[in-house]
Amino acid sequence: MSGIKKIQRGRNHSYEIDGRRADGVTTLIGDGMPKPALVGWAANTTAAYAVDHWDELTGETPSKRLDVLKKARYADLDTAGRRGTEVHQLAEKLSHGLEVDVPDELAGHVESAVKFLDEWNPEVLLTETTVASRAWGYAGTFDLLAKLPDGRVCLMDYKTSRSGIWGETALQLGAYANADVYLDAQGGEHPMADLGITEGMAVWIRADGYDVYTVDLEMGFRIFQHVAWVARKAKNMKDALISEAQTVGGAA
């Protein structure tokens, strides 16, 4: 079966290229690049949850307390992920000139997104578009492709994390920009070269404003290729590098 597909699986999704499962861009980056900051974040989030819910936890059995604390960081991560997804969706509707009903907790972020749209005045070309590379065996979905008033065609990514823009954003956008094809609304394939992308931009959307950063797409893609290689090799490292146990004398 030929073709590229994005398959929704509840809140998650996967990709296929010509009938075979393809690696997602963000999955490859997550599996192939260490994130030491997450260790401290996980410890701090768990400790904060324990302090904030001390009375509730004392009423539970020790095993139940342990189970709740193990899951605390994931609950925080899910909340942050939902915030980012909702802001992306609202920003997409706003970019098309549609009216939106904004939840109170996202009002600041959405106001910042509106301010960005008003001040930068991007002409939206594509949003939430799936791209894929048969040559490198990956696929992903970018947030926004827009043309600025000065003629630049920018591949953009909205970020809503509290910590700002991380270097992995360059890997992400570099992989998207260097894919072979993108899909239109009907699932038809078109060469990425047709989009005429001139640069990448990361837009950090916060409740108190926004910042825009230029992203080095070429260097980001070079590093992504190395990270993807590590991620794939790490999956079968033991089978690839370690032989079967041997008996006395060296025989298997």
Listing DSSP states for 43-85 in one string gives HHHHHHHHHHTHHHHHTS-HHHHHHHHHHHHHHHHHHHHHHHH
Question: What are the tokens at 4?
Answer: 């590229």
Q: What is the DSSP letter of 3?
A: S
Does position 210 have pLDDT exceeding 70, yes or no?
yes
Does position 95 have pLDDT exceeding 70, yes or no?
no
State pLDDT tens for residues 32-79. 987 655 566 567 778 777 888 887 888 888 888 888 778 776 665 556
Shortest CA distance to 205 belongs to which of 137, 140, 136, 120? Answer: 120
Q: In the predicted model, what is the mean pLDDT of residues 155-164?
A: 85
Does position 250 have pLDDT exceeding 80, yes or no?
no
Q: In the predicted model, what is the mean pLDDT of residues 95-106?
A: 80
Q: What is the DSSP letter of 106?
A: G
Does position 5 have pLDDT exceeding 70, yes or no?
yes
Shortest CA distance to 212 belongs to which of 128, 126, 124, 122? Answer: 122
If you average pLDDT over every residue of the chain, what do you get? 85
Give residue limits of the domains in the chain.
Answer: 23-233
Residue-level pLDDT at 38: 59
Q: Percentage of residues in the chain with pLDDT exceeding 90?
A: 43
Residue-level pLDDT at 178: 97
Q: How many CB atoms lie within 10 A of CB 185?
A: 7
Residue-level pLDDT at 211: 95
Residue-level pLDDT at 239: 65
Residue-level pLDDT at 68: 78
Residue-level pLDDT at 78: 54
State pLDDT tens for residues 18-38. 999 999 999 999 999 876 555
Residue-level pLDDT at 238: 60
Alpha helices in the chain (DSSP H): 25-32, 36-52, 54-58, 62-95, 107-120, 168-177, 217-235, 237-241
State pLDDT tens for residues 111-130. 898 888 889 999 989 988 99
